[in-house]
Each structure stands twice: as C-alpha cells, then as structure tokens.
Amino acid sequence: MKVFPDKLPETLARKLPPVVVVAGEEPLQHMEACDAVRAAARERGIEEREILHVEGNFAWGRLHEAAASLSLFASARLIELRLGGSNLGQEGAKALKAYADGIRERDDVLLLAMGKLDFRQQKSAWFQALDKAGLFVPVWPVDLSRLGFWLRDRASRHGLNLDLDAARLLGERTEGNLLAADQELQKLALLLPQGARVTPREVAGGVEDSARFDVFTLVDACLKGERSRVSRIMAGLAGEGVEPPIVLWALTRELRTLLSLHQHLDQGQSFDHACKAQKPSIFEKRRPAYQQAISRLPVKRLHKLLLFAQRLDLAIKGAAALPVQDGLHDLALTLAGGRGLLAELPASYRIG
C-alpha cells in the first residue's frame, strides 16, 4: 500500500507492517521516513536491529540467513536492507521475492531503504509481493510551486510562525535542498523566541545561500519561462564548477525535443500523443512546461537556437571565438523567452 511521508507516522501508529519500502532521492524525507519506521518498531518492543548494506558484491544469501536465524534476546527484529542507488539485479529480485513469499512465517520487520523506483520496477514481481505485504513510501522532491507552503508548515515544528514571503525567500535560498532549509529553520528557532513571527528580514539576515542546482533544474526553468530563475541557476552552476559541455548537452537535448514535438503537432497529432512519441516519453507532470515552451518558441526560433548551440560547442572545443559562459547564459535565457547577455555584442556572436 502506498503511503506518502507526511502520512507515515499516523499509519504506523495504527499498525506496524512486516515490510516497509522507502524509495526516493530526497535526503531529508527519506531519512525521516526510515526514522519513523525505527521509532514505531521500538514502540512495539523491537529493540534488536540488523543492518545489511548492499554494495558491489553483496551476497543476497545474507538476507535469507538474517530472516532464518533466531534472536537470543527477542522474538522479533528490525532488518534494515540499505540499497542506496545499488542495482538489485536478478539475484536481488529473487531474494526479495522469496522473502516476501515467506513473510507470514516471521515476526521480523524488514525496512528496505533504496533510491528512486521507476514505473517498470514497480511492476516487478518482487515489488508487487512486498507492496502487498506492507507499505511503500515514495519520497519525491518538493515541487518549487509548493516549497514555500511546505517550509511554512515545517517551521511550525520548530515553534516558528513563518510568513509566506519569508518561506518563499528561504525556499529560494535553499532551492532543492530540504536538509539545508530545515537546518536554517533550526538555527532561527535557537535565535528567536518560541512562536516568533519570522519575516523576510530575519531570513535574509540569518540564512546562508544553500541552493543546490543541476542541469535538470535549469532546463525545467527554461521550459517554464522563468527567466530570473534561469539566470540565478546559471550563476549557481558556474559557481559549483559544472562543466560547460554538460550544460550545453542538457539545453541541446531540450531544443531537439521541442523541435520533435513541433514536427508531431504539424502532422496533426495531439499534444499528448506527441509527448508519448518522444524517447523517452515525457511524463504527464512535465507536459504543461513543454506546452508553454512550444507555444512561446516557433520552429524557426528553435532552429536558430540549435545553430547557436553548435557554435557554442565549437567554442568549447576552442574552434570558435565566443565567450562560452555568456553564450550558455544567452542560450538558456533565450530558451526561457528572455534577452541574452550577448545582445550588445557583434551580430556574429548573437543568436539572432
């Protein structure tokens, strides 16, 4: 049964299932979901814990041995199987399926902590068997549009009354990094009295810029036309030392996807069908951003951007005289519907 992290504690308070699968790549919510399972186990009198780290040459027979061995001190244990980003492989899939098949014969609780599970993995036999026997907790990053509200609610845990404007500023400074945001809230809770109202002024004065950026954050901002955010992300990527070829690869890939969408639409296909025809298919959640982008960027404009990207590739390789970082910013900002930094340079440098 699927349960989201914010509902997990109350679900565990009603019943502790024999298996809980926590899967995702957002560190704070992942950690707290696992902590909630451990706390629920302790409340049920399960004090003994066995931890199995799945690494390169992990022997999956260890899971069977852990499940089959009897404890000298307790009738039940918490078995933690920590996969991280490791691949199960066929042996791991068989071991988990076998564990699920024998789950009725055991009193132990299995906590399976792992990275993101895609749709195909959720259809596998091992996952279906574990999901049927217990809980599946998918851990997703908090969407930027909801981040301010999430932080405002989070602040109440620390005894703070966070203004929505202050929450948005905190979200901007710690974008994509919930651990950093929570740490800043803890600092503010130490500095301010219980129940204090936190305004943007307190956030601006006391919070470090802990934003975490990647090229996927950048292309999402470009597709949505968030020009000021694009500029901030580009500065962040440059500051973090992300290599220009990686940024160019991400932007060029989106340009080709948008051109392909236009081609399918020009053939009379529906937008949803055009999205499904992409390799890989565009998830439904991301389709509104692509729809915004193709309505903003005609085919002719996209071709010009692609040609500019090719010139940037030559510049990165030292075969063209073009300022690379400014050129990448120009490309990203124009993709978002803005006016790039190279607009005042000679025409040969500009996108056109």
In tens, the pLDDT along 24-56 reads 988 899 999 999 999 999 998 888 888 999 887
Q: Is the pLDDT of residue 70 over 70?
A: no
Tokens 């392909």 sit on residue = 260
Residue 34, Cα to own-chain centre: how many angstroms? 18
The reply to whether CATH 3.40.50.300 applies to domain 5-139 is yes
Mean pLDDT rounded to a whole number for the chain: 85
Q: Enter the CATH code of domain 215-349.
A: 1.20.272.10
Q: Is the pLDDT of residue 342 over 50?
A: no
User: Does the model's pTM come out above 0.75?
Assistant: no
As a whole number, mean pLDDT of residues 66-84 equals: 77
Bridge-based pairing of strands 161-162 and 19-24 is unpaired
Please give the residue that has the higher pLDDT: either 161 or 203. 161
Residue 33 near residue 12, CB atoms below 8 Å: no
Residue 341 near residue 326, CB atoms below 8 Å: yes
The pLDDT, as a whole number, for residue 235 is 86
As a whole number, mean pLDDT of residues 217-237 equals: 88
The pLDDT, as a whole number, for residue 323 is 87
Distances in whole angstroms, Cα of residue 340 to Cα of each of 104, 170, 227, 306, 334? 63, 27, 10, 15, 6
As a whole number, mean pLDDT of residues 69-76 equals: 64
Q: Where in the chain is the domain with CATH 1.20.272.10?
A: 215-349
What is d(CA 180, CA 185) in angstroms, rounded to the nearest whole number?
A: 9
The pLDDT, as a whole number, for residue 207 is 61
The pLDDT, as a whole number, for residue 134 is 93
Cβ neighbors of 88 (< 8 A, separation 6 or more) are 96, 126
What secondary structure letter does DSSP report for 78? Answer: E
Q: Where in the chain is the domain with CATH 3.40.50.300?
A: 5-139
Tokens 């949505």 sit on residue = 224
Neighbours of 124 (CB within 10 A): 15
Classify 144-206 by CATH class.
Answer: mainly alpha
Peptide bond into 280 cis (omega under 30): yes
| Least confident range of 50-54, 84-88, 134-138, 262-266 | 84-88
Predicted confidence band at 168 (pLDDT cuts at 50, 70, 90)? confident
